Amino acid sequence: MCKIPNMIEHTKMLLWRGLALIGMGLGLIGILLPVMPTVPFLLLAAWAASKGWPELDAYLIAHPVYGQPIRDWRSHRAVPRKVKWLASFMMSGSATMLWFVPIPSALRWGIYGTFLIVGAWLWLRPEPPSA
């Protein structure tokens, strides 16, 4: 009787659940802190939950506020225009505040470059059909 495959499957399930909990935790922090996003972490949580925690996945999909963005992302890889504007505004605000923080120039410009890449990627995502 070989228990190794069961142990491997159990370990995978625990790792997926751990990643889902990390995503949920970061998403909850994002609800409380305006400078931290919520939905990307809930997308991570839903993705991980779909691999090893079907009950959490079903809960996230059915959530009255965050379920629709998760469904739109899964169905169409789509981001609503309102979210694109909000993310762009938040990145612009962060970039402005970063200007006054005493950090090395290379780091500052690296962060600005990251904001530009993320912003371009975000605006290239389609909008959901319901929008």
Residue 115 has pLDDT above 60, yes or no: yes
* pLDDT above 60 (res 130): yes
Q: Which two tokens stand for residue 48?
A: 């991980």
Q: 3 and 61 share a domain? A: yes
**What is the average pLDDT value for the chain, to the nearest integer?**
90
Work out the pLDDT band at 1, boundaries 50, 70, 90: low
Are 20 and 52 in contact by the 8 Å Cβ rule? The answer is yes
Q: How many domains does the chain have?
A: 2
Instruction: Clarify whether residues 68 and 83 are in a common domain.
Output: no
- Whether residue 67 sits in one domain with residue 21: yes
Instruction: Name the residue among 126, 99, 104, 130 with its Cα closest to residue 115.
Output: 99
Co-location of 68 and 110 in the same domain: no
**Does one domain contain both 65 and 89?**
no
Q: Distance between CA atoms of 45 and 65, rounded to whole angstroms?
A: 15
Is the domain of 7 the same as that of 60?
yes
Does position 131 have pLDDT exceeding 60, yes or no? no
pLDDT, one tens digit per residue, over 39-93 is 889 999 999 999 999 999 999 999 999 899 899 999 999 998 988 998 899 889 8
Same domain, 11 and 64: yes
Domain that holds residue 112: 79-131
